[in-house]
A and B are shown apart, each in its own frame.
Chain A
Amino acid sequence: MFDAQPFSRPVVVSADQDSAKPLFDRVHEWIVTVDHKRLGLMYFCYGIVFLVIGGIEASIMRAQLAVANNHLVSPETFNRMFTMHGTTMIFFAAMPIVFGLANYFMPLMIGARDMAFPRVNAWSFWMSAMGGIILYFSFFGGSGLYGAGSAPDVGWFAYAPLTSRAFSVGHSTDYWIIGILVSGFGSIGTALNVLTTMLTMRCPGMTLKRMPLFAWMNGVMALLVLVALGPLTSAQLMLLIDRYLGGHFFDTQAGGSAFIWMHFFWIFGHPEVYILVLPAFAIVSEVIPVFSRKPIFGYSIMVGATVAIAFISLGVWAHHLFTIGMTSYANAFFVASTAAIAVPTGIKIFNWLGTMWGGKIRFDVPMLFCLAFLGQFLIAGLTGIMLAAAPFDWQLGNSYFVVAHFHYVILGGIVFAVFAGSYYWYPKVIGRMLDESLGKWHFWLFLIGFHLTFDFMHIPGLLGMPRRIYTYEPGRGWDIWNLIVSIGVIFQVAGVAVWAFNVVWSYFKGNVAGNDPWDAWTLEWSTTSPPPVYNFATLPVVRSCRPLWDLKHPEDPDWKYE
């Protein structure tokens, strides 16, 4: 492998000397750290822990639904499972994972030594961590100290007035509100930090037009967080006022409006999809060029499409509300805005294809996950178009078709991209490669499991099966499909178990990676693996989008074509 000369050899002491310190000191260092790499890693690992917890909750639901009229768990338990699954996966798995990646790699890719606000960074992480702990404490404290514990059971979008004290007694809904509020403050802190870092911390020579797409997309993600989290936080505060201070915002029995909660929630909820998917695009936009051996096709168009997606995504929320009886004009408007988002998204897919076109594609594990991402994200987009046609949504909305659709986006898109990123950057973070053949086992098991579960989940939706039912009557043609869907879970669990084993095994036994194992082009590969505390001993100076390409190909550098 080509081992690029770094811009300068770091003079900082190696992290290995840490192991001489007592355990207490080492743990203490992690807790008080303000280093973006450690915080990024903690964010990521925290998200993975909750990914596993949310996965267990999903497995319980699938065990219940595998056959008709099953009573493995009670209706109350099932309702808690889907509420906790949704809330956990969105707020405490997906967001920490994408924030972790942004935290770790944004400074490294723009040639900075840390985030703009390292202390805000630590504060944000611990706020998010606290939010998850508060939410899960509801299992013990949900009914007060003297009652049995009970997790929230109002659904992850918690439609009013089911959340009012008349219908949700005890404290489980309060834990839900406060958990999300607290982690929301953390998210806003991280978003400010990522955006400011992108705007102010770039190394000499790195204009906005020379910034890696990873930085662009995460910056736009941060902007969306700043816009979208506000309405959610406001709605949670109003709900809390309703529950404890005699407010009537959503209290329909006193003239409040169930309608307003829906709008508040989805004004947050739809941009949230793009908050999660833009970082997935960011990973794919780094991996595909490196493994196709070509620069990203249409760099400035990709940036434009990212900004366009973010902008349009703020005006589509009511496509979650086609069935609430809006006027025909309002419905038509949201059909148009929702369908419009297909255009910049399509541009992205075509640009990734254009990047592969004429390249020499290497099928390493990160690229396998990205190829699966492309195919799956295409299908997710197409089912999205079906749901965007409001009348079709009157049938498909709140059915298993919708559940299949957004899991195609989140699992087939975001999780596959995160796995791609984990194989791509593990060598940089740990200094060793993840095992290639274990990686292929992981890929194929997870791919088969994903398609068994989520391809077949569309069908009961088309056959009229609503979501969030704890059991169903036999003889409606739903049984066989639900069984296949549940079987797929086994393969997914096996795949993730192989990945977890690989991560641990390779930490001790993996091949030593070197600085630049993939022969890549962005700045993080110019420093050591793992990077020293200060990232770069002297700040790099760049002249194009691909500084390491310029270094490796002095006869044909990118900056000639700018």
Chain B
Amino acid sequence: MSTSSAWAALPVVGISVTNAALASTLRSPQTSLFSPVSTPADEIYRLSLLVLAICAGIFVVVFSLLVYAVVKYRRRPSDDGREPPQIYGSNQVEIAWTVIPILIVVVLFLAAARVIHAVQDAQFPPGTLEVTAVGHQFWWEFRYPSYGFVTANELHVPVSESGHPIPTHITLLSADVVHSFWVPRLAGKTDLIPNRRNEMWIDPHVAGTYVGQCAQYCGTEHAKMLLTVDVQSREDFERWVQAEKAPAAVSDQVASGRKIFETTACVNCHTITGTAANGKFGPDLTHLMSRKTIAGGVAENTEENLRLWVTSPDAIKPGVLMPAMQLPKQDIDSLVAYLMSLH
């Protein structure tokens, strides 16, 4: 029977596909759930293996029964045309296939509840780094209240070794609509909701750059609200903190660009410490050039991209809230030169 043999082939196809998927996962682990490097993601990963194993078991048993029934009880060409025995049910069988699922559900609940408790009710050691993340349409603001500076889109945290743990506790706020903070290799996602304070934590064991993005639809450019977490050795992190704490670089060579910045609409939205610019609507630009990307992680932070971004942001990110600055070419030149000096 072609129907039943095709059905029987499905699991084989499914398994080979899954293998291919896992191979690809290992080769390209940038955002895979299956290569965790932080305790919350580790806990979820271990739970997911248990859940996947249980589900695979149920699938094999029930799907085999289905295939068996289809093959065994198909009407055969030699059929005598009489109706099969009419069976109305069996209470013993019903009890069996009620009790077994209940037991599986209890196991799943206990396993899930353990991880919920481990992640949500965790205690933090002294020395935990406090960061506040604020979601904006369509970029991330990161405040470091204990150091007194603010940055954007690229979160820097120290690596947390088992001998000397420095977890990072992140308070999640939103300036406008609902967003969601998701870096799959570090932790599950948590939403940033206006008028509400949420929290999450990470303790990455391995230095490196981990990527993620906004996971709750937040408007036109939701797709381009990218996010990176730079996990640095303790010394590198300390050096980065000192650099960020310093006031903005001042240089006479770019004084004209600074004047343009301070006397146009730029100041309404952006802050540069030590200048007249103290807007809060857009990213803090005090150390703009310490960041690898601009525009919510969409474009590399190069002179060319900065120029394009200031003149026509829509070309990089259509729907972005930053307006195009209608400035003469020489003003743009000075302005970009000034921005390039903000190390």
Contact surface of A with B, Cβ cutoff 8 Å: 74-76, 79, 153, 155, 159-162, 167, 252-253, 255-259, 292-295, 297-301, 323-325, 327-328, 331-332, 335-336, 339-340, 342-343, 346-347, 349-351, 353-354, 356-363, 368, 371, 374-375, 378-379, 382-383, 385-386, 388-399, 451, 455-456, 459, 462-473, 475-477, 480-481, 553, 556, 558, 561
Contact = CB atoms under 8 A, between A and B. Distances in A.
21 contacts: A76-B220, A76-B319, A159-B217, A167-B176, A293-B83, A294-B84, A299-B88, A325-B172, A325-B198, A328-B117, A358-B85, A378-B63, A378-B66, A389-B48, A395-B184, A398-B180, A455-B17, A463-B24, A466-B214, A476-B211, A480-B24
A476 B63 contact: no
B34 A462 contact: yes
B251 interface: no
B89 A297 contact: yes
Interface string B144-186: 0000000000000000000000000000100011101010100
A408 to B, nearest CB: 13
Interface of B: 1, 3, 7, 10, 14, 17, 21, 24-25, 27-28, 30-34, 40-41, 43-44, 47-48, 51-52, 54-55, 58-59, 62-63, 65-66, 69-70, 73-75, 79, 83-90, 93-94, 97-98, 101-102, 104-105, 108-109, 111-113, 115-117, 119-121, 137, 172, 176-178, 180, 182, 184, 187-191, 193-196, 198-199, 211-223, 226, 318-319
B59 A295 contact: no
B109 A336 contact: yes
Contacts of B59: 378-379, 382
B78 to A, nearest CB: 11
Nearest to A329: B116
Nearest to A363: B3
B31 A361 contact: no
B28 A375 contact: no
Q: Which of B65, B116, B190 gathers the greatest number of chain A CB atoms within 10 Å?
A: B116
Given A363-B3, A556-B86, A472 B223 contact: yes
Contact of A347 (B33, B55, B98, B215): B98
Contacts of B219: 79, 162, 167
A535 B10 CA distance: 44
Contacts of A553: 83
Given A323-B180, A343-B98, A391-B116, A75 B319 contact: yes
A394 B44 contact: yes
A333 to B, nearest CB: 10
Q: Top 10 A-B pairs ranked by shortest CB distance?
A: A394-B188, A464-B31, A477-B28, A469-B223, A325-B198, A252-B194, A298-B89, A328-B120, A464-B184, A389-B112
Contacts of A390: 112, 115-116
B107 to A, nearest CB: 10
A90 to B, nearest CB: 16
Contact of A155 (B54, B74, B217): B217
A375 B111 contact: no
Contacts, number: 296
Given A323-B188, A354-B89, A391-B115, 6 more contacts: A300-B89, A347-B101, A358-B84, A392-B112, A394-B188, A395-B44
B223 A342 contact: no
B113 to A, nearest CB: 5
A480 B20 CA distance: 11
A295 B109 contact: no
Given A356-B69, A386-B51, A388-B108, A328 B121 contact: yes
Contact of B119 (A349, A359, A391): A391
B90 A335 contact: no
Contacts of A477: 24-25, 27-28, 30-32
A385 B180 CA distance: 23
A125 to B, nearest CB: 32
B174 to A, nearest CB: 8
B204 to A, nearest CB: 16
A466 B88 contact: no
Contact of A349 (B24, B62, B84, B104): B62
Contacts of B194: 161, 252-253, 258
B190 A323 contact: yes
Nearest to B36: A395
B198 A324 contact: yes
Contacts of A294: 84, 86-87
A294 B176 CA distance: 59
Contacts of A300: 89
Q: Which of A386, A391, A393 gathers the greatest number of chain B CB atoms within 10 Å?
A: A391
B28 A159 contact: no
A20 B27 CA distance: 70
B188 to A, nearest CB: 2
B190 A375 contact: no
A75 B318 contact: yes
A258 B73 contact: no
A463 B31 contact: yes
A79 B28 CA distance: 28
B28 A476 contact: yes
A421 B93 CA distance: 29
B206 to A, nearest CB: 17
A293 B81 CA distance: 11
Contacts of B75: 360-363
Contacts of B7: 371, 375
A339 B105 contact: yes
A162 B85 contact: no
Given A298-B90, A328-B116, A358-B73, A363 B33 contact: no
A353 B94 CA distance: 12
Contacts of B52: 386
Given A255-B195, A360-B79, A350 B97 contact: yes
A325 B223 contact: no
Contact of B28 (A162, A167, A475): A475
Contacts of A475: 28, 30
B109 A339 contact: yes
A258 B74 contact: no
A2 B326 CA distance: 82
Contacts of A397: 188-189, 215
A382 B55 CA distance: 6
A389 B111 contact: yes
B217 A468 contact: yes
B124 to A, nearest CB: 16
A350 B63 CA distance: 11
Contacts of B101: 342-343, 346-347
